[in-house]
Amino acid sequence: MQKASRENEQLIEEYFNYLRIERGLSVNTCRSYRRDLHKFLEYVEQNNKNILTCNTSVLLDFVICYKELGHSAKSIARYTAALRGFYNYLVQEDKRSDDPTIYLNAPKMEQSLPDVLAENILNKAMIGSADQNHLDIRDKAIVEILYSCGLRVSEVIKISLNDISFDLGYLRCKGKGDKERIVPVGELALAVLGEYINRSRQMILAQNKKPRAEDRNTLFLNSKGRPLSRQAIWQILKKWAKKQGLGNNVYPHLLRHSFATHLLENGADLRSVQEMLGHADISTTQIYTHLSKKRLLEVFRKAHPRAK
């Protein structure tokens, strides 16, 4: 039982790191999720179950148990949200083939709109990025890809040199479940990417005295010439944002949110944005349709015959 406990604890810690690094959630929010998941872990192990094998009925029993103990509807909804996020992550990472939370119902939580950076502020920061050394050029290329293509961190670290087509202006990436998709890359991003590959990447790779095939093929490398980790991307973005005066609250998914929102605000259709983001369900993409009142008024004035 102790071995199972260590394995389950490790899974929760890996999920905690994922929330902090890739999703950019605050430390306090992550701690809340971890606290709720540890309550579930205690319940699972008390009933001689394992996180990776327990089914929907175990999760339902857990929720009912805490409801009978007098926990509020808000707390139950939070537990359910924590379980859904956790098992979605396990499926995404191929640690489970099924999602036992699919039939798990709870009081609905109000869905908050994603944070985004204003288009003019972000463009100004991108232009203001100074090329000082090989790592700075690499960092600028990473930021360009995060924003210009709307990629997840897990997708960025998997990009290989063969995934990029400079002639056609696209890159191939592997999303959730290793599902491949083609994403357009703008001219500005291609120019920055080309500068990194032609000017900096070989110098960075040279720091690796015994490069493997993976090191030679992976697009973005760390200072030692090896593939970057999720955490390294998060740190690079934090450092870049601080240099550009964007503050400390910039994280990779914020650029993905900004990518989708700016596309829609400038006239892109929802289906195209869904495809570029790699969303299986368009309802996930619809959260980005929170256009400003100013934008809606502009559309109305241009499109309606009685608006003028």
Domains 2-92 and 119-294 belong to one CATH topology: no
Give the tokens for residue 178: 């290793």
Point out the residues of the chain with pLDDT beneath 70: 1-4, 106-113, 128-131, 290-299, 306-308
* Domain ranges for the chain: 2-92, 119-294
For the stretch 275-296, pLDDT in tens is 999 998 888 888 887 644 455 6
For the stretch 155-177, pLDDT in tens is 999 999 999 999 999 999 988 77
- Overall pTM > 0.85: no
**What letter does residue 107 receive in the DSSP assignment?**
P
Active site residues: 152, 176, 253, 256, 279, 288
CA 105 – CA 91 distance, rounded (Å)? 19
2-92 adopts what CATH topology? DNA polymerase; domain 1 (1.10.150)
CA 296 – CA 112 distance, rounded (Å)? 20
CATH code given to domain 119-294: 1.10.443.10
